[in-house]
Amino acid sequence: MRFDILTLFPDLVLTVLGESIIGRAQKSGAIEVFAHNIRDYSKDKHRRVDDTPYGGGRGMLMSAPPVYDCFTAVSAMADAAAVHEPRRRVIYMSPRGRVLTQQKATELAGYDSLIILCGHYEGVDERVIEEIIDEEISIGDYVLTGGEIPACLLVDCVARLTPGVLSDAECHEKESFSGGFLEYPQYTRPYEFRGRCVPEVLISGNHRKIDEWREAEARRVTERMRPDLLG
């Protein structure tokens, strides 16, 4: 799967996504991650990509032309590298978008290519959003200084569902949100820690009982932590 991130801060994106599981997945070829500097497509001699908003207001707004030119160039590069016409989705990370869920991540993992636009300053000229964006996605009901960190979160969330990224598909089949509940509690050695012991059922060897315990615990944790999910 290929991820192309349109940003003003490509080093930030590549640093975050170059580590741990996502970094290893790139080295193994399971996924590809590219960060493209929108400033490279500015026709301004100072590489400016922003201007004051029409109608007044505080702050600056990212201009449509460099964003659009970056998008068209990246689309062409991605098409040229593909062995067949890719199923692609173009996403704008925005606080006004629909909040990212595991269900949405699973849906996006079905595409061959995601192009992700990171806004900055006060946002992006609406016209380029209308021109190139398929959907807007938010990571929560709050506002950040830019879309780079949300884009990294989206890539991580989607990439781990891609074959070859995790060592075992069961890793994400039985985790939080995948079955409608939060994940059950988990334990490892030592058996006792500060007077707290591992539940006996987990060392019983009875896998049917263990599955029943995990299902019951997942429901209990969900009822306590996120009762809204049960509704």
Query: Which CATH architecture describes the domain 174-229?
Result: Orthogonal Bundle (1.10)
Spatial distance between the Cα atoms of 15 and 94, rounded to a whole number of angstroms: 22
Please state the CATH superfamily assignment of the domain spanning residues 2-159 in this structure.
SPOUT methyltransferase, trefoil knot domain (3.40.1280.10)
pLDDT in tens, the chain (231 residues): 999 999 999 999 999 999 999 999 999 999 999 999 999 999 998 999 999 999 998 899 999 999 999 999 999 999 999 989 999 999 999 999 999 999 999 999 999 999 999 999 899 999 999 999 999 999 999 999 999 999 999 999 999 999 999 986 545 555 556 678 999 999 999 999 999 999 999 999 999 999 999 999 999 999 999 999 897
Query: Looking up tokens 């173009």, which residue turns up?
Result: 90
Spatial distance between the Cα atoms of 139 and 57, rounded to a whole number of angstroms: 25
Domains of the chain: which residue ranges? 2-159, 174-229
| 174-229 and 2-159 share a CATH fold | no
